[in-house]
Structure 1
Amino acid sequence: MKYVTNGFCPVRGCVIFKGNEKRIIMNTNVDVDAMRKDAVEIFQKGFACSESVIYAIKKGFDLDLSDDAIAMSSGFPWGLGDGGCICGALAGATMCIGYFFGRRTPGDEAFLKCQRLTKEFHDAFKEHCGATCCRVLTRGKEKNSPERKAQCISFVDFTVEKLAEIILREL
């Protein structure tokens, strides 16, 4: 699938201004299928769920974003450092929503939009995957088993597709 934002800056190197802050998005002609493929491939090479989501969004939108963002998400996998809580793919998506739509200063009303979009994504993830908690999603599957890896790949794949849909709709 190829998406072009509703006529919004459909050229390479567009800048979005939000208040006094700017965010650079290098590509708004996004191939969501390629992003999904990138996420799955990097997951299979050793990135975890949250890292794979951020990697694919960063690459697909050609974001002017340091790889430190990927590193910042390294504690999310296996439910927050193997705690079994929130799915890392969901946590990575939340970080991406914050990057595109979050606030940079106290009192910025972007916070409300970010919260709304995060809730929308959360609800879509829960409906599609059945839960948001890693231990519930992966119950009965050994941590490094092929069955669990295949299941997590499906979560990463869904996450990138749905996340890109929300981002493109809202730009």
Structure 2
Amino acid sequence: MLFRTRTPDSTVWKRFRSGQDGFTFTRTGDIYEAKVVANAERVVDLFYTMSELMAPAVDVYIYDARSKTSWSGQMIALPDIRDAVARLKVPLATYGGVEITLFTPEDQLTLSPQLELYIYSRSDRWVYLLNSMNLEERASLEERLWGIQSWERAPAPALSDAVAAAAERLSIKSA
């Protein structure tokens, strides 16, 4: 019979996460900038999770690098956008190549086509939120080397169709 005397220190997500989960946080003038780098699934999930902290209505910009199509909308209800992002989580993490930006006069949250998360804000509240999500603040992040972008050589019609359908559901216009 085995007796467990204490709870193990590591959780499943800590064990299988990439070793590079972290962020930088800088200030330029009155604007704070955070850049978050982690594995694809975690970055997309962080974008979704952190979007909950935005204002109840935000402006949105979506760009599909494969189809070279962009959409933009103003004062879109945050729950509608979060629903659209939730539906796109798996194809976004799988294929990349889509930029989604949510912004207000105070904050901007951007998921880049390379699946990196950028946050621009007039306050430093995001540094505390990122730390609370077990991301490590670093002086600099390892640069990812990108050759030919994956969306330039590998079409992903399922993702492009899903992004177009999400834009239609949100009633946002082609930019």
Common fold, TM-score beyond 0.5?
no
TM-score range, shorter chain: under 0.3
In terms of fraction of residues, the more strand-rich structure is: 2
Which has a greater percent of helix? 1
Q: TM-score, normalised by structure 1?
A: 0.26
Q: Which structure's CA Rg is the greater one? A: 2
| TM-score, reference length from structure 2 | 0.26
